[in-house]
Structure 1
Amino acid sequence: MTEPISIKNLDRHGSAELPWSRARDVLVTDTPTADLTFFVGTVRPDGRPHSAGVGAVWVDDALYFKSGPNTRRARNLAENPACSVSVRLRGIDLTLEGEAHRVTDSSTLERVAAVYRTGGWPASVEGDALTAPYSAPSAGPAPWYLYRLTLRRAIGVASAEPHGATRWDFATT
C-alpha cells in the first residue's frame, strides 16, 4: 500500500492534518462507479501547459488513465512523463503529482479493463492497449494507451468536515 514518507499540514485555520487514507479510501470506493472527471496536466515540448479530462480508476493502490496515442496528452507524456492529475472527490479536492508511464503488460491491462467494466465502460484488451465500442471524443479513436501514475506528491483540501489542507509526499523509488 502506498503510504506517504512525509506529511505537511497546509491549513492556516487551525485544522489538523488530513490522513492520506481519507483521499485514498474515496479513490478506492468511488472509481470507477462515481461520475468523476479527472484532469491530467502535461507539458508540451515548448513548455506550455496542457490539460484534458480523462476517465481514471484507482486499482491496486495506483491511478490509471487512458489516452489515444495521437492525442496531445499522449504525445506530451512520451516526451516528458511528469504530470498532475486533479479531481473533486466526495469531501476532498485532490491533486496528484508524479510521472505517468504507459502500461503494456497484459495482466495489468486485463485487471484495469475489468475495473473499468465494473463502472459501465465495456473495455477490453487488444494487443498492448485498451479498446471498447466507444469512449470520450477527446480520447481519440481506439485503441487507447493505458498509463499508470507513479505518485510523488498529493495535495488534498477538504470540502467537508473535518476540514483541512494537507500535502503528502511519497517515495520516489
Structure 2
Amino acid sequence: MTTTTEPTSQPIAELLFQADAVPMSTDPATIKSWPAAAEQLAAAPKYWLSTSRASGRPHAMPVLAVWVGGALVVSTRPGTVKGRNLDHGGGCVVTIATETIDLVVEGDATRMTDPERRQRAAAAFAAKYDWRFTLRDGRIHDDTLPGSPEYAFYEITPTRAFGYGADGLTATRWRF
C-alpha cells in the first residue's frame, strides 16, 4: 500500500486575513505549508464531516477517514444520511482539531468505484484503525458486524482549505 500526503499539484497558500484584520497575523512568514497540514489531516484519529441534505439543511457527524493519494476517504453505509447526502450533491466540509493546527477542508466527494482504489482505501483503514473491510462482488462489506453490512467509500478531493494556528492568531487559506 502506498499512501501519500502530497496532492497531485500544490495548492496556492495565502494569508487568510489582510492588513486590516488586527489582531490576526498578516505576516506572510506565518503561512503554513500544505504538506505539513496534509500530514496532520492524514494522522487525525477522528474527523467531523458536514454535508447538506437535499432540502439544504446541514448534517454533521464524526467519521473515521484515511488519506490516500492526495484525497481523504471516508466510509459509511450508503443508506445513512451522510451517504445519501454525498451521493446527492458531493459538496462537503471536513474538520479536525490538533494541538498545532485546526483544519477546515472544503471538498467534492465522489463514491469510489475503481476496484484498485477501493483496495488501497480498505488497506489504509486496516492499517490506521484495524478496521477490515471485505471487497466481494463489487461491494464493500464489514464482515465483523452481524449481517455483514455494505459500506461505500467516498473520496473527498479538497477544493479549498483553511488552517488556524494553535495561537489563535495565524490563519492560512489553500486554494486547489
* TM superposition score normalised by structure 2: 0.80
Q: Deviations over 1:87-120 (max 9, x none)?
A: 1235211111111000011101111111111121
Q: 2:12 aligns with which of 6, 16, 23?
A: 6
Q: 1:78 aligns with which of 87, 92, 102?
A: 87
Q: 1:159 aligns with which of 162, 166, 172?
A: 166
Q: 2:41 aligns with which of 16, 19, 27?
A: 27
Secondary structure, aligned partner of 1:166:
strand
Opposite residue 82 of structure 1, the aligned amino acid is G
- Counterpart CA distance in 2 for 1:95 and 1:147 is 18
- Count matched residues: 159
- Counterpart CA distance in 2 for 1:148 and 1:89 is 22
- Counterpart CA distance in 1 for 2:137 and 2:104 is 31
- Extract unaligned runs of 5+ from structure 2: 1-5, 18-23
Structure 1 runs, 4 residues or longer, greater than 6 Å off: none
Q: Deviation at 1:130?
A: 2.5
Greater Cα radius of gyration, structure 1 or 2? 2
Q: Deviations over 1:27-71 (max 9, x none)?
A: 34x26xxxx211111111111101111110001221100111110
Aligned residue number for residue 149 of structure 1 = 156
Aligned residue number for residue 18 of structure 1 = 32
Confirm whether residue 69 of structure 1 aligns to residue 78 of structure 2: yes
Percent identity between the aligned chains? 30
- Counterpart CA distance in 2 for 1:110 and 1:151 is 21
Aligned residue number for residue 111 of structure 2 = 102
Q: Deviation at 1:17?
A: 1.0
Q: CA RMSD in A?
A: 2.2
- Counterpart CA distance in 2 for 1:166 and 1:128 is 40
* TM superposition score normalised by structure 1: 0.82
Secondary structure, aligned partner of 2:39:
helix
**8 Å CA contact retained: 1:69, 1:75:** yes
Q: Deviation at 1:127?
A: 3.2
**8 Å CA contact retained: 1:77, 1:100:** yes
